[in-house]
Amino acid sequence: MKKLRLILGDQLNAEHAWFNEIDDNTLYVMMEIKQETQYVLHHAQKVIAIFAAMRAFQNVLKSNGHKVVYLSIADANNKHVFDQNLSDIIKQNKIESFAYQAPDEYRVDVLLKMFVSQLNIPYEMVSTEHFLIERDEASLFFHGGKWLMERFYRHMRIKHQVLLDDDQKPIGGQWNYDKDNRKYWNEKPAAPADDRPIHDHSALWAEIKSQNVATMGKPSEAVFRWPINRQESLKVLDYFIENSLGNFGPYQDAMHTENFRIFHSLISFSLNVKMLSPAEVITKAEQAYFEKDYPLSAVEGFIRQILGWREFMRGFYWAHMPNMQTVNYFDHQNPLPSWFWDGNTDMNCLKHCITQSLDHAYAHHIQRLMVIGNFALLMGFNPNAVHQWYLGIYIDAFEWVEMPNTLSMSQFSDGGLLATKPYVSSGAYINKMSNYCTDCKYSPKTRIGENACPFNSLYWGFFQKHQDKLSKNPRLGIVNMQLKKMSEPDKKAISQQVALYADNVENM
Ligand code: FAD
Ligand code: DLZ
Ligand code: SF4
């Protein structure tokens, strides 16, 4: 056996050029290892999904005639770290050269660079052939200047010729229809049923448990709904395009107790482990705009997430690692309350979003940003603890996309390298965009008192506390002016209310 090629758990791209030829002298290796299950406390469904998808992928490779060595979590020969397993396989198979696809995660990138630097056979790192641009392209585009998603997005629209007219101008005359995308959803228009596949992963879950892999959340092993191969991923995508895309944009910020995904696509796991490519998702969405009667605001809103935000976040991650993992602009040090792991809080919005995350390993963007992240920032939770929680809980959480979203966008922990202002709000925003407040013990209309919505005083308390860092932010002009006008007794009442929460977060 001459060549060894490593495939990581998030590199399940069957369309990769590696697989164009079948070669008896090439051995592929995939491994389920504790090094990867233990770097953070993952959701049970995330571990199940990754292992199930890896197993399905090796079956496809084998049935296509490729040679694969697969180390499962319970395999007696498994040393549970990349380098030792690789060294064993290289020795046992008299391997003469080694190749791997560029890891998306900085930690794994460093680890594999260290491994190959000690090899005495030739090696190479190749592209995953997944993303639309190289790791450093966004960084080169901004050229040391301010990272602005909108600028980058317009560049990507032109570069990849998406939703453009013959004069290279945006179809419809505008680049971005975000202002049309803030509608409340009152269960109309009806959201489509959950059409995702149903798997029974009881045997895999028993195997994972037998190896004492620590997890959080509900395994749902017998009614598991995440797609674990390319065919299933394509079905989820097509179903979304047929049934949800037409309403995606306008309702993308809406939240509701009766429906956890409304018109969201649920394709992030398939995309992030590369069972789907961003190019094909964008092409299908654009085609649907031309062929169906979907509003431009809906389709543009969806395409922007993938062509814009997803690639932008990846570029930002590679430009700012490793420094970005330790930033803490506000010096926030508070620990997360225990109800982040069981959803047991009286705040109905948080109860719903956290319980849903524990049940489904999923929350949509606004639930992550404007409910959970908003509360974490207002309460001054330690950003690294917040990052670890997000990295563990979501089915789609891989550090290159999770970290910039959590630390830079949601927790403003880099002081504004990515976001232009902190994403915080009072209860009024949550009340406007959801029905969570209807059955809440707290009142979204009250700021002070036992039944007041905590978001209200926390919001003003946050700006009061961080005046030194935020009073000159041009995007916070209105807030800062309102704060200036606020009477001293009002300010004092807010500080007192906020202090109550700080001492009592476990019981909120
Ligand atoms: P849809 O709402 O249907 O959007 C379609 C696709 O657009 C997504 O699948 C995703 O690939 C892409 N997308 C949308 N928003 C973003 C964004 N801000 N950054 C990058 N891609 C985006 N996304 C992840 O994939 N992994 C994460 O670990 C992750 N962590 C997040 C943490 C926080 C604090 C926040 C605010 C957002 C995070 N996101 C993350 C972005 C977004 O919430 C998810 O991509 C989305 O909820 C996935 O669900 P969906 O497939 O139904 O997405
Ligand atoms: C997230 C994850 C988990 C839980 N387990 C594995 C694994 O056992 N083997 C593997 O190759 N990958 C796993 N992953 C995904 C890795 O963390 C992923 O390979 C890195 O994030 C690289 O980008
Ligand atoms: Fe959340 Fe406040 Fe509304 Fe309750 S009243 S659901 S805590 S925003």
Q: Which residues fall within 8 angstroms of residue 192, CB to CB, at 6 or more apart?
A: 239, 243, 244
Residue 373 has pLDDT above 70, yes or no: yes
Per-residue confidence (pLDDT) for residue 182, from 0 to 100? 82
Q: What is the rounded distance in angstroms from the CA atom of residue 505 to the CA atom of residue 484?
A: 28
Q: What one-character DSSP code corresponds to residue 371?
A: I
Per-residue pLDDT reduced to its tens digit, 219-236: 998 889 999 999 999 999
pLDDT bucket at 179, cuts 50 / 70 / 90: confident
Question: For 53-82, what is the mean pLDDT?
Answer: 97
Query: CB of 410 closer than 6 A to ligand 1?
Result: yes
Q: List, chain by chain if needed, residues with CB within 6 Å of any ligand 3 atom.
A: 347-349, 427, 430-431, 436-437, 440, 442, 444, 453-455
**Which ligand sits closest to the CA of 273?**
2
Amino acid letter, residue 90 = I
pLDDT bucket at 473, cuts 50 / 70 / 90: very high
**Which ligand sits closest to the CA of 396?**
1
Query: CB of 104 closer than 6 A to ligand 2?
Result: yes
pLDDT bucket at 422, cuts 50 / 70 / 90: very high
CA of 112 to the centre of ligand 2 (A): 13
**Which ligand sits closest to the CA of 394?**
1
Per-residue pLDDT reduced to its tens digit, 19-65: 999 999 999 999 999 999 999 999 999 999 999 999 999 999 999 99
Q: What is the rounded distance in angstroms from the CA atom of residue 289 to the CA atom of residue 454?
A: 42
**Which ligand sits closest to the CA of 437?**
3
Residue with tokens 């908003």: 374
How many other C-beta atoms can be found within 10 angstroms of the C-beta atom of residue 476?
Answer: 16
Per-residue pLDDT reduced to its tens digit, 125-157: 999 999 999 999 999 999 989 999 999 999 999
Question: For 472-499, what is the mean pLDDT?
Answer: 94
Atom of ligand 3 nearest to the CA of 350: 1
Query: CB of 31 closer than 6 A to ligand 2?
Result: yes
**How many CA atoms within 13 Å lie on the side-chain side of 2?**
3
Provide, rounded to the nearest whole percent, the portion of the chain with pLDDT above 70.
Answer: 100
Per-residue confidence (pLDDT) for residue 268, from 0 to 100? 98
CA of 372 to the centre of ligand 1 (A): 14
Q: Which of 244, 396, 413, 414 to mutate to test the pocket of ligand 1 (most atoms within 8 A of CB)?
A: 396
Name which residue sits closest to atom 15 of ligand 2, judged by CA. 9
Residue (of 13, 129, 37, 27) closest to 86 by Cα position: 27
Structure tokens at 195: 């059409």
Q: What is the rounded distance in angstroms from the CA atom of residue 493 to the CA atom of residue 252?
A: 36
Question: For 467-473, what is the mean pLDDT?
Answer: 94
Name which residue sits closest to atom 36 of ligand 1, judged by CA. 369
Helix, strand, coil fractions of the chain, as percent rounded to 5: 50, 5, 40
pLDDT bucket at 293, cuts 50 / 70 / 90: confident
Per-residue confidence (pLDDT) for residue 221, from 0 to 100? 87
Peptide bond between residue 170 and the one before it cis (omega within 30 degrees of 0): no
**Which ligand sits closest to the CA of 390?**
1
| DSSP per residue, 311-365 | HHHHHHHHHHTTGGGG--TT---BPPPGGGTT---S-HHHHHHHHHHHHHS---H
CA of 26 to the centre of ligand 1 (A): 36
CA of 330 to the centre of ligand 3 (A): 25
Per-residue confidence (pLDDT) for residue 1, from 0 to 100? 62
| Burial category of 406 from C-beta neighbours within 10 Å (exposed 0-12, middle 13-18, buried 19 and up) | buried
Residue 270 has pLDDT above 70, yes or no: yes
Q: What is the rounded distance in angstroms from the CA atom of residue 445 to the CA atom of residue 448?
A: 10
Query: CB of 405 closer than 6 A to ligand 1?
Result: yes
Residue 432 has pLDDT above 90, yes or no: yes
Residue 406 has pLDDT above 90, yes or no: yes
Mean pLDDT computed over every residue of the chain: 96
Amino acid letter, residue 48 = I
Query: CB of 105 closer than 6 A to ligand 2?
Result: yes
CA of 149 to the centre of ligand 2 (A): 28
Q: Which residues fall within 8 angstroms of residue 179, CB to CB, at 6 or more apart?
A: none
Q: Which residues fall within 8 angstroms of residue 116, CB to CB, at 6 or more apart?
A: 98, 100, 123, 125
Angle, vertex CA 378, rays to CA 475 and CA 442, nearest 5: 115
pLDDT bucket at 393, cuts 50 / 70 / 90: very high
CA of 459 to the centre of ligand 2 (A): 37
Name which residue sits closest to atom 4 of ligand 2, judged by CA. 37
